[in-house]
Structure 1
C-alpha cells in the first residue's frame, strides 16, 4: 500500500492557543514584524522559517512557529473545498492582495497593462502568442518532451504532430483557443468538463479513458521526483463524485452570500480540480485550462496573453511544494494562492517587457514605412522577424495564422517578397517553405 511522505513541522498544538493570541494582539507586540516577514515577499512554511536570521531571540523557533500558526488561524477565511476526511481548506488574505487585485481589475480587463492604444489586430496577435506559449509550457509541465522552438514551429506551420508530446501541445492549444472563442461564455457542467478533458487528451490516451473518470483500481499517486517519495494519494472516486457538483456550483458562482475575487477563485478552482484528480491523466492541464476559463468568463480577457505555465515551468519544485504545503499544513490554501499570485506577477512583468520590445520594433517598422519600399504591414513584420531570426522559415499556413488572414493574401505576401529577392522558397514534400535572403539584413542596414 502506498505511504504518504509527510513534510516536517513541529507540533504547535502543545502551546495554549488563548495565550498565544493574547500575546499576538497586544498593542506593542514585538511579534508582528517577524510574523509579517513570514508572509511577504513569500508565504513561508516552517522549513524556511526555522532558518531565518530575523527570528525572535527570546524564544525557540518552534515556539515562534506556534505564534505564526495561531495568527494564521485567526486570520483565516473559509472555502468550500474539503479534504478526504471532510476537513475544510482555508486561506488568508495577505496584506498585499488588495493592491494586487486592484491592479488586476485595472489592467487585465480594461486597458492592456495600462496601454489604451492597442489595435484589434495587435490583440489577436498577442492572444495567439499567449495561447501558444501557455499550451507548450502547460504540456511540458506534464511531461511533453519537446523544445519550445520546435513546438511553436509545429503550431505556426500547421504540421501534424509526430509524437505524444506534440499531440499534447496541439490539444492544449486547440483547447485554449476553444476557451477563448466560445467556452468562456458557457456555464460549467460535468459534460463540459468531460468534453474539455477529451479535447486535451485526444490521441494521447486510449479512447475509453478520454472524458471518463478513473477508477479506484487505478491507484493514482503523485510522486514529483518519480521515486518512493509520494506527496499525494488521490482520493476514492466516490469522494470525487461527491465533490465535483460542489466545484461546479462554485465555478458557476451559485453561492451569492460571499464574494471571492475572481482571480483568487480561479486559483482555487485550479487547486480543487487538481487534488480531486478525476481522470487517469491530464488533470494538471485541465486544472490550468479551468483557471483560464473562469477568468475569461469574468472578462479578465488579458489573461489570454499571459502564459502563466511558462513561469511555473521555471520553478516546478516550488509548484509541487505549493500543493504539498497546502495539503499537509492544516489545509492552508494560502501557500498555493500565494505561489500562483507571484507567478501571475512574473507573467505580467514578462509580458510588459514583451510589449516594450514590440514598441521598439514598431519604431523600426516606421523607419521602413518612411522609406521607399512599398511593403504592406504583414510583409514588413515578417521582414523584421527574419532580420532578428535569420535561420527561421515560414509558409503560407503559418503566415496566415499569425496575421489572421486567408491563404490568398498570405500567399501573395510571400510571393511578392520572393519576387523582390527578400525570400527564397524551397519545396519539402507537399509544403513550400520561405527563407530570408541576405537582402533582408541589407534592408535594415540601409
Structure 2
C-alpha cells in the first residue's frame, strides 16, 4: 500500500492567489457554492481528486480549496490531538445523515420484522454464529491462517487451539463474549487492558505484554505488507495512559452538551485505538471489539448479530486507506467514518440475506416433512441439523458441539440429539468412550422418503 499524497494546504492556495493579486479568483473560491462533496456526492481525498476533471473554469487545486473551505465550515472538533498537536475533527454530509437514519431504523429500538434474531427461542443460535464469524474474520485480518471450517469446528467443539492462528480466533471469540458481558458498563482503562489480555493470550512473542501498554523501548510502526513503506508511527508510549483516559471519557460521555451521534462515537473510538496503537500487537482486534462494545452500550442491539470484519476482509486495502486518508488530511476523520458507515450497512444487509436464506432452508425442510411421521415433531434446532445432515452425509455431531452452537444446557442438547437418534431415527448413535456421538447416515434422504411412504400407506 502506498501512502496517499497529502493535499495542498488550503491556506497556501489562498496565500498564492493573494500574492498573485488574483483577488477575483480568490473571491470566487471563498464564495463558491460548493458543498463538502463533489457532484456525485463523494467525500474525496486529494489523492483521488487530483486525477479527476475539475468543474469548468476551475483549476484542480482551486477546486480542492473550495471543497476544503466548505468542509472547514462544517468541522466539529474532537477532544483528541494528533502527534503534531492538532485536533482531530469530522463533518457530516447529507449522505452520512441518510446512512445514520437508516442505521437508527435498522439496528436499534424495535424492529418490526418477524426475524429469528428477535425470537427468544432462536436468537441465541444466530448470536453464536455471529460471534464465531466476527472472531474468525477479525483474526484473519490480522494474519490468522486457519481455515473457516476448522475454526468453526474448534469453537463449537470447545477444543483447545492447536496453532497460532487457532489461538487468535479462540481468543477473539472469548473477547467478544467479554464485550457482551460488559456492554452495560462504562468503559474503563482496566476493561481495555483486560480485553487486550484476552485477545493476545498465548499469541505474543513477549507474553508479558498481553494486557500491558507498549513501552518506550518498543519500536512500534505500522508498515505495508512488504514492510518497505512506513504508514504510521503512533504517539509516544508515555502519552498512552492520558490518551486512553480521554478516550474512555469520550466513550462514556453520551450526555455531553455537544451531541455526537452514537454510531459516530463508536466509529471514532474504533479509529482512535488504531491511531494510538496502545499495544505491541492486537490493536486492530481491540479497536473492532471496542466498537462493538460502544454500539451495544448505546442500544444498537442488532450489532451483536453482524460481523464488520467479514465485510472489511473483502477489501482490507480500503480499510487501511480510510485510516491514511484521515491522517494525511488535517486529521479529518470523515473519511474513516464514511468507510465504516458503509461497512456497517453492508454487514446488516448481509445479515438480512443470511436470515432469509436460513428461513428458506427451514421452510424447505418442513415442506419435505409434510405427510411424514416427523411432521411437526422437530424443533428449530433439530430441523437445522436435519437440513445440514442431508447436505453433509456422514457428518458427526456431538452433544458439546450442539450445546455450543445454540447456547443450550448440556441436558437440552443431549435430549435434542437422542430424540433424533432413538425416537426419529434421523441420526445414527455411536458410543465413543463414555459419551455418545451422532452420525448423519449416508442414506438419510431415502429414510425420509420411506417415512413419507409409511405415512401414506396408513
TM-score (ref. length: structure 1) = 0.89
The whole-number CA distance in structure 2 between the counterparts of 1:430 and 1:410 is 16
The whole-number CA distance in structure 1 between the counterparts of 2:105 and 2:195 is 30
Q: Which moved more, 1:423-432 or 1:143-152?
A: 423-432
Q: Secondary structure at the match of 1:159?
A: coil
The whole-number CA distance in structure 2 between the counterparts of 1:431 and 1:277 is 46
Aligned residue for 1:88?
A: 87
Aligned residue for 1:268?
A: 268
The whole-number CA distance in structure 1 between the counterparts of 2:315 and 2:46 is 20
User: Could you give the per-residue CA deviations for residues 93-146 of structure 1, whole angstroms, max 9, x where no partner exists?
Assistant: 011222222222222122448446731122212211111111111111111111
1:35 lines up with 2:38 in the alignment: yes
Q: Secondary structure at the match of 1:212?
A: coil
Cα displacement (A) at 1:247:
0.6
The 5 Å alignment of 1:184-223 reads 184-205=183-204, 206-223=206-223
The whole-number CA distance in structure 1 between the counterparts of 2:381 and 2:336 is 42
Cα displacement (A) at 1:437:
1.8
Aligned length: 436
Cα displacement (A) at 1:348:
1.1
Q: Secondary structure at the match of 1:438?
A: coil
Structural RMSD (CA): 2.7
Q: Which has the larger radius of gyration?
A: 2
Cα displacement (A) at 1:33:
10
The whole-number CA distance in structure 1 between the counterparts of 2:227 and 2:394 is 41
For the Cα contact (< 8 Å) 2:394–2:441, is it kept in 1? no
Aligned residue for 2:373?
A: 372
Cα displacement (A) at 1:13:
3.3
User: Could you give the per-residue CA deviations for residues 17-39 of structure 1, whole angstroms, max 9, x where no partner exists?
Assistant: 89788536758x4x5597243x4
User: Could you give the per-residue CA deviations for residues 342-392 of structure 1, whole angstroms, max 9, x where no partner exists?
Assistant: 101110111111121122123224325643214343222210122244475
The whole-number CA distance in structure 2 between the counterparts of 1:177 and 1:8 is 40
Aligned residue for 1:7?
A: 5
Aligned residue for 2:387?
A: 384
Aligned residue for 1:166?
A: 166
Cα displacement (A) at 1:442:
3.6
TM-score (ref. length: structure 2) = 0.87
The 5 Å alignment of 1:25-424 reads 29=33, 31=34, 35-37=38-40, 39-40=41-42, 43-53=43-53, 55-112=54-111, 114-115=113-114, 118-180=118-180, 182-205=181-204, 206-253=206-253, 256-367=256-367, 370=370, 371-373=372-374, 374-390=377-393, 392-419=395-422, 421-424=425-428
The whole-number CA distance in structure 1 between the counterparts of 2:343 and 2:323 is 14
Cα 1:339–1:21 change in 2 (3 A) is farther
Cα 1:229–1:363 change in 2 (3 A) is same
Cα 1:431–1:26 change in 2 (3 A) is farther
Q: Secondary structure at the match of 1:59?
A: coil
The whole-number CA distance in structure 1 between the counterparts of 2:394 and 2:421 is 16
For the Cα contact (< 8 Å) 1:423–1:437, is it kept in 2? yes
User: Could you give the per-residue CA deviations for residues 313-349 of structure 1, whole angstroms, max 9, x where no partner exists?
Assistant: 1111111111111111111101111110110111011
Unaligned runs of 5+ residues in structure 1 are none
Cα 1:345–1:430 change in 2 (3 A) is farther
For the Cα contact (< 8 Å) 1:393–1:434, is it kept in 2? yes
The whole-number CA distance in structure 1 between the counterparts of 2:71 and 2:391 is 51
For the Cα contact (< 8 Å) 1:223–1:231, is it kept in 2? yes
Q: Which moved more, 1:375-384 or 1:120-129?
A: 375-384
Cα 1:65–1:296 change in 2 (3 A) is same
